[in-house]
């Protein structure tokens, strides 16, 4: 089954979604179990590829290729390298955890799980695509379920809900109101997210089509393109910019980030987890897969753009998080601030920093999804995300409080968690090239510490409002399991990062060599991977 594991990872959630269509909606337990089983299969298979990936051999492994349209030069071509593999693993973990986190959703459970499974499967599809067409196909496919997940099962912000006077009620349900930037209803968040991401996607699509045509190869095969595609300088700069800003809008790089915290805040817990955990990494991943692989020269010349913009991400995101009052906003902005670290790691183009960036993607996925899961729990219990009105919840929910502290620590990058490994690698690896940004990044860590502690104190310590006396802790194994899973992965990999690092560096080192023109590309053919 080894060689088919990628297909299993990808199609288990899809088939689960199809199976759900035929399950009657009254059978809620069966709906949940089906979703959980299909995600479980996916998780097991991705666990296998994560550990079975051979770092000595390197390159793309578990490759599967099926002709799809000869006419257009498209093949269904999947495989993972040291970057895609861990991210596929992260997506599968998050999907599995997300299904259990949303176990208590009552409204239209069936549709919720269908869209959640499609979202996760599409994300997984991007991480394993070796064909530009399918990379875009899955990328675009992951955007739309977000609209419904946010719009239907999401939650409004406080300002929106406070409009209860007749005039306000009429206003807040009108379409025009969606364009009102002060409002932040869930519909607004969902629409903003889709339009931003679609705009980014079509930009990237223009770049992809230019690669397709200008390379003269008329193929979407990434492996062929990275070996044979040659562009003029102007053209490769243009394509690189389209690809970079197109995909960076989902990453989201400052100043294209504004859809993201709004989206996080409106989304239900499981969706925020997948959104912050893996959906945002689609951006970094696609920049690496398309920009770094196919346009190495332009990457070397232009990656300073990311290094400049990441300052904005880190500082702006951090400051907004510090002053925000809404838990999900804080976590959302902290995510967008932490994305700056990944861009810094990518921009430095050294072995250590890029490996660090990849590991950070994984680490951030675990840490931030823990926080979202618990913010979701707190919201479900108290129906509030407003920190000033909360407080003292540790009395009522000690387990959640404990896990939340671990999540905050992981987010800050405490030694022992995988985030620490990643942060150190980015900081050390970037020092030579971008000392200023490293200083900013370290300040960013201090800032992270400040707002995380502030949030912890605001939520769990201080005086308990009697209004929240009825709130309950996560007592069932179903509620605790996803958190324990995420924490365990974060800590185990944090203490034993050896294999993970080997896997990542086996891919990163030849890539960096090629970008810095130290060594030419070692083709897959010479490794005997392709017939």
Q: Which residues bind another protein (CB under 8 A)?
A: 25, 67-72, 108, 111, 133, 137-138, 140-141, 143-144, 147-148, 151-152, 175, 186-187, 190-191, 194-195, 198-199, 202-203, 205-206, 209-210, 212-213, 218
* Residue 73, C-beta contacts closer than 8 angstroms, at least 6 positions apart: 212, 217, 218, 219, 220, 221
Q: Let me know: does 421 contact 497? Beta carbons within 8 Å.
A: yes
d(CA 334, CA 265): 12
Give whichever of 214 and 308 is closer to another protein, judged by the CB atom: 214
Give whichever of 47 and 68 is closer to another protein, judged by the CB atom: 68
CB of 118 to another protein, least distance (A): 9
Give whichever of 71 and 167 is closer to another protein, judged by the CB atom: 71
Angle, helices 109-128 vs 5-21, to 10°: value is 160
CB of 300 to another protein, least distance (A): 26
Give whichever of 179 and 304 is closer to another protein, judged by the CB atom: 179
CB of 187 to another protein, least distance (A): 6
Nearest to 59 by CA among 361, 503, 359, 355: 503
CA angle centred on 163, ends 319 and 184, rounded to 5° = 40
Tokens of 340: 């700056």
Give whichever of 204 and 309 is closer to another protein, judged by the CB atom: 204
Tokens of 219: 């193929």
Give whichever of 100 and 138 is closer to another protein, judged by the CB atom: 138
CB of 109 to another protein, least distance (A): 12
CB of 393 to another protein, least distance (A): 30
Give whichever of 140 and 227 is closer to another protein, judged by the CB atom: 140
Residues belonging to the chain = 531
Chain centroid, CA 491 distance in Å? 19
CB of 146 to another protein, least distance (A): 11
d(CA 334, CA 92): 23
61 three-state secondary structure: strand
Q: Let me know: does 396 contact 471? Beta carbons within 8 Å.
A: yes
Angle, helices 84-101 vs 109-128, to 10°: value is 170
CB of 340 to another protein, least distance (A): 26
CA distances from 471 to 106, 389, 475 (A): 18, 14, 12
CB of 53 to another protein, least distance (A): 28
Give whichever of 144 and 491 is closer to another protein, judged by the CB atom: 144
DSSP-H helix ranges across 383-476? 398-412, 418-430, 435-460
Give whichever of 199 and 450 is closer to another protein, judged by the CB atom: 199
CB of 388 to another protein, least distance (A): 29
């Amino acid at each position: 089954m080894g060689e088919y594991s990628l297909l299993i990872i990808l199609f288990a959630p899809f088939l689960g979604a199809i199976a759900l269509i035929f399950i009657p909606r009254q059978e809620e337990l069966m709906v949940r179990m089906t979703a959980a089983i299909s995600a479980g299969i996916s998780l097991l298979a991705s666990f296998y590829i994560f550990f079975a990936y051979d770092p000595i051999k390197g390159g793309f492994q578990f490759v599967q290729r099926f002709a799809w349209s000869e006419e257009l030069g498209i093949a269904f071509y999947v495989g993972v390298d040291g970057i895609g593999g861990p991210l596929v693993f992260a997506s599968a973990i998050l999907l599995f955890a997300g299904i259990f986190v949303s176990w208590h959703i009552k409204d239209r459970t069936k549709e919720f799980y269908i869209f959640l499974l499609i979202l996760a499967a599409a994300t997984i599809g991007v991480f394993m695509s070796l064909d530009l067409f399918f990379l875009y196909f899955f990328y675009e496919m992951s955007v739309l379920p977000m609209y419904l997940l946010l719009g239907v099962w999401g939650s409004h912000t406080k300002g929106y809900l406070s409009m209860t006077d007749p005039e306000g009620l009429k206003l807040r349900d009108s379409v025009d109101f969606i364009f009102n930037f002060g409002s932040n209803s869930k519909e607004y968040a969902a629409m903003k997210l889709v339009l931003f991401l679609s705009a980014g996607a079509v930009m990237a699509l223009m770049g992809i089509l230019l690669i397709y045509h200008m390379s003269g190869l008329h193929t979407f095969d990434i492996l062929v393109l990275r070996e044979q595609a040659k562009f003029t300088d102007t053209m490769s700069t243009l394509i690189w910019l389209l690809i970079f800003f197109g995909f960076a809008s989902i990453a989201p790089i400052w100043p294209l980030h504004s859809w993201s915290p709004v989206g996080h805040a409106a989304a239900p817990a499981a969706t925020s987890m997948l959104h912050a955990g893996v959906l945002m990494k689609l951006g970094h991943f696609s920049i690496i897969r398309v920009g770094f692989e196919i346009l190495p020269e332009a990457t070397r010349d232009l990656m300073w753009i990311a290094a400049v913009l990441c300052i904005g991400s880190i500082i702006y995101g951090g400051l907004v998080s510090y002053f925000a009052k809404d838990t999900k906003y804080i976590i959302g902005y902290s995510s967008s601030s932490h994305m700056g670290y990944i861009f810094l790691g990518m921009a430095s183009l050294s072995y250590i920093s890029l490996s660090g960036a990849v590991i950070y993607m994984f680490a951030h996925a675990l840490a931030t999804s823990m926080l979202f899961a618990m913010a979701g729990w707190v919201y479900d219990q108290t129906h509030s995300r407003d920190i000033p009105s909360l407080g003292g919840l540790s009395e009522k929910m000690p387990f959640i409080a404990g896990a939340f502290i671990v999540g905050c620590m992981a987010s800050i990058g405490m030694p022992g968690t995988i985030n620490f490994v990643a942060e150190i690698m980015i900081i050390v690896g970037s020092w030579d090239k971008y000392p200023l940004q490293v200083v900013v990044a370290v300040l960013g860590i201090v800032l992270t510490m400040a707002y995380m502690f502030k949030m912890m104190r605001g939520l769990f310590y201080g005086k308990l409002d009697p209004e929240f006396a009825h709130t309950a802790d996560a007592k069932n194994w179903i509620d605790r399991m996803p958190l324990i899973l995420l924490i365990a992965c974060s800590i185990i990999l944090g203490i034993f990062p050896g294999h993970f690092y080997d896997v990542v560096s086996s891919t990163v080192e030849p890539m960096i060599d090629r970008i810095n023109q130290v060594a030419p590309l070692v083709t897959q053919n010479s490794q005997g991977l392709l017939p």
